[in-house]
């Protein structure tokens, strides 16, 4: 772990760089053309940064860490905090909230009903917190980046946060940009579009192409995905880092001048440079117009305890406090990793199912893995694998039984398996629905009994009928125009 004062400077620099880049790029979010910015374009910022949802979600996660403890975070807990504290109505944010409300907690909340946004930019833009909590330890940061990203993304959207968190974490101990990119690339599959896009930028740089040529090649490679997608925009960040050549101003301006999700790319490039340079080496001309305050836009202002930090310095102090707690409770984290490019943890995450739900019960955990997703159709079997984690101190027999709705069936309605203590055990089963659905979501109860216990644990397993969706509609109440009322609506989609 770096010395305390240096670490504090790097964390402060991270958040200052985040605010600087986000403010620089905010007016140009979604721009499809190449830009030519050299400084802020806002006439008067009044000493405050532009509100930035990239930072907002990290404040929510910091509060979650403070309240529950870092290693007590679970996918279900992340989903609960999302529903109650993240009020941003945009794209994958709203999809995550709606999925969780229907019982589809992460990672289902990111992989279901989210085809257009699952590869988008919402996850990698909020990776700095995990990097700051694990400075110089990318592999430890990865598992929390996955917890975060799987709330509202899947596939390339998750890989993007794995790349940025690894690069940012390593930046606390490694200053060479090219080596940082190698470390980030080691955490994502070589077969991914993200890897291909970043490798393309590196090749352009090595071949002597200018940044505009590299940018155009990235756009052409990802033309099938459209805009606001992670592979192209993370590549724009890498363009900024490589062609910026260690200069803060040149780095963030090159990133923002690539266009598209310009506030996000500049903010992440700024955060990386803030970590590398430290607070004291950031140009004052970039800091003075926006000051050190935090302005939020996507957080429920009444839902967080402790409250939203008002300044960068307050946020840094709270992170430093958590670092002290984490390093005291888990002394092994004080030992630096031997290989920053190790793929062991990354490969474990790559192999995780995007279609699983975990339930905590009295004596362990039960995982429901939907082999082909949680979608059901009358007469068609939905294949399911049940996972059991026995956390007692004894080997036990575990029995299950589906409580089937009327007309439903299963080729394996009941079953039993041996479960060794602190071991994972799995068994295959299925559900075969019947009838005409009246609601998009179906709930099936599952009984789980361990050993000689007479009282079963009962969990509710959610599924969704194919070609149906349940989603909230926001409308303004005429008597309270600022209060959005959430109205449920069921809509049957036309089959293609």
pLDDT in tens, 173-220: 999 999 999 999 999 999 999 999 999 999 999 999 999 999 999 999
Say yes or no: 363 and 257 in one domain. no
Say yes or no: 375 and 343 in one domain. no
Q: Which of 305, 328, 350 is the last residue of a domain?
A: 350
For the chain, 496 residues long, give each residue's pLDDT as a single digit of tens.
458 999 999 999 999 999 999 999 999 999 999 999 999 999 989 999 999 889 999 999 999 999 999 999 999 999 999 999 998 888 999 999 999 999 999 999 999 999 999 999 999 999 999 999 999 999 999 999 999 999 999 999 999 999 999 999 999 999 999 999 999 999 999 999 999 999 999 999 999 999 999 999 999 999 999 989 999 999 999 999 999 999 999 999 999 999 999 999 999 999 999 999 999 999 999 999 999 999 999 998 887 777 899 999 999 999 999 999 999 999 988 888 999 999 999 999 999 999 999 999 999 999 999 999 999 999 999 999 999 998 887 888 999 999 999 999 999 999 999 888 778 899 999 999 999 998 999 999 999 999 889 999 999 999 999 988 876 654 444 443 333 333 333 333 333 3
Q: What is the CATH number of the domain that holds 346?
A: 1.10.4080.10
Q: Which of 320, 350, 380 is the last residue of a domain?
A: 350
Say yes or no: 313 and 370 in one domain. no
Say yes or no: 292 and 424 in one domain. no
Specify if 309 maps to a domain.
yes
Specify if 477 maps to a domain.
no
Say yes or no: 270 and 302 in one domain. yes
In total, how many domains does the chain have? 2
Say yes or no: 63 and 166 in one domain. yes
Say yes or no: 291 and 403 in one domain. no
pTM for the full predicted model: 0.93
**Which residue range forms the structural domain that includes residue 403?**
356-470
Specify if 371 maps to a domain.
yes
Q: Please write down the HEC assignment for all residues of the chain.
A: CCCHHHHHHHHHHHHHHHHHHHHHHHHHEEECCCCCCCCCCCCCCCCCCCCCHHHHHHHHHHHHHHHHCHHHCCHHHHHHHHHHHECCCCHHHHHHHHHHHCCCCCCHHHHCCCCCCCCECCCHHHCHHHHHHCCCCHHHHHHHHHHHHCCCCCCHHHHHHHHHHHHHHHCCCCCCHHHHHHHHHCCCCCCCHHHHHHHHHHHHHHCCCCHHHHHHHHHHHCCCCCCCEHHHHHHHHHHHHHHHCCCHHHHHHHHHHCCEEHHHHHHHHHHHHHHHHCHHHCCHHHHCCCCCECCCCCECCCCCCCCCCCEHHHHHHHHHHHHHHHHHHCHHHHCCCCCCCCCHHHHHHHCCCCCEEEEEECCEEEEEEECCCCEECCCCCEEEEEEEEECCCCCEEEEEEEECCCCCECCCCEEEEEECCCCEEEEEEEEECCCCCCCCEEEEEEEEEECCCCCCEEEEEEEEECCEEEEEEEEEECCEEEEEEEEEEEEECCCC
pLDDT in tens, 12-22: 999 999 999 99
> What is the chain's mean pLDDT, rounded?
93
Say yes or no: 234 and 149 in one domain. yes
């Amino acid at each position: 772990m770096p010395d305390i004062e240096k670490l504090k400077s790097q964390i402060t620099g991270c958040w200052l760089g985040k605010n600087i880049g986000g403010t620089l790029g905010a007016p140009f979010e979604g721009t499809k053309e190449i830009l030519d910015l050299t400084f802020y374009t806002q006439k008067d910022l009044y000493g405050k940064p532009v509100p930035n949802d990239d930072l907002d979600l990290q404040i929510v996660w910091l509060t979650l860490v403070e309240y529950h403890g870092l290693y007590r975070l679970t996918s279900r807990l992340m989903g609960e905090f999302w529903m109650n504290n993240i009020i941003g109505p945009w794209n994958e944010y709203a999809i995550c909230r709606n999925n969780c409300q229907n019982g589809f907690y992460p990672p289902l909340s990111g992989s279901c009903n989210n085809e257009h946004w699952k590869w988008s930019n919402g996850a990698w833009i909020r990776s700095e917190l995990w990097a700051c909590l694990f400075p110089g330890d990318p592999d430890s940061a990865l598992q929390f980046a996955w917890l975060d990203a799987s709330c509202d993304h899947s596939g390339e959207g998750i890989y993007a946060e794995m790349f940025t968190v690894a690069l940012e974490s390593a930046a606390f101990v490694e200053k060479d940009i090219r080596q940082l990119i190698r470390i980030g690339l080691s955490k994502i599959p070589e077969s991914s579009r993200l890897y291909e896009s970043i490798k393309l930028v590196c090749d352009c740089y090595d071949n002597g192409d200018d940044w505009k040529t590299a940018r155009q090649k990235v756009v052409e490679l990802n033309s099938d995905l459209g805009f606001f997608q992670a592979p192209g925009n993370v590549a724009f960040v890498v363009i900024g880092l490589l062609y910026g050549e260690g200069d803060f101003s040149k780095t963030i301006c090159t990133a923002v001048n690539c266009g598209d999700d310009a506030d996000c790319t500049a903010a992440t490039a700024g955060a990386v440079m803030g970590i590398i340079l430290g607070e004291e080496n950031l140009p004052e001309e970039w800091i003075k117009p926006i000051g050190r305050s935090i302005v939020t836009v996507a957080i429920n202002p009444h839902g967080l305890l402790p409250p939203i930090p008002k300044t960068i310095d307050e946020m840094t102090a709270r992170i430093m406090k958590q670092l002290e707690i984490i390093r005291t409770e888990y002394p092994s984290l004080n030992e630096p990793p031997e290989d920053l490019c190790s793929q062991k943890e990354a490969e474990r995450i790559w192999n995780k199912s995007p279609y699983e739900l975990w339930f905590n019960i009295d004596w362990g955990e039960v995982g429901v893995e939907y082999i082909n997703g949680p979608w059901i159709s009358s007469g068609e079997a939905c294949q399911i694998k049940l996972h059991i984690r026995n956390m007692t101190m004894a080997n036990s027999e575990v029995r299950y039984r589906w409580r089937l709705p009327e007309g439903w069936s299963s080729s394996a309605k009941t079953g039993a398996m041996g479960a060794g203590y602190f071991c994972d055990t799995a068994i295959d089963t299925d559900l075969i629905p019947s009838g005409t659905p009246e609601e998009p979501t179906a709930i099936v109860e599952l009984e789980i009994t361990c050993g000689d216990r007479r009282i079963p644990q009962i969990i509710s397993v959610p599924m969704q009928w194919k070609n149906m969706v349940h989603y909230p509609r926001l409308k303004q109440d005429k008597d309270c125009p600022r209060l959005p009322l959430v109205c449920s609506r069921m809509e049957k989609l036309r089959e293609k």
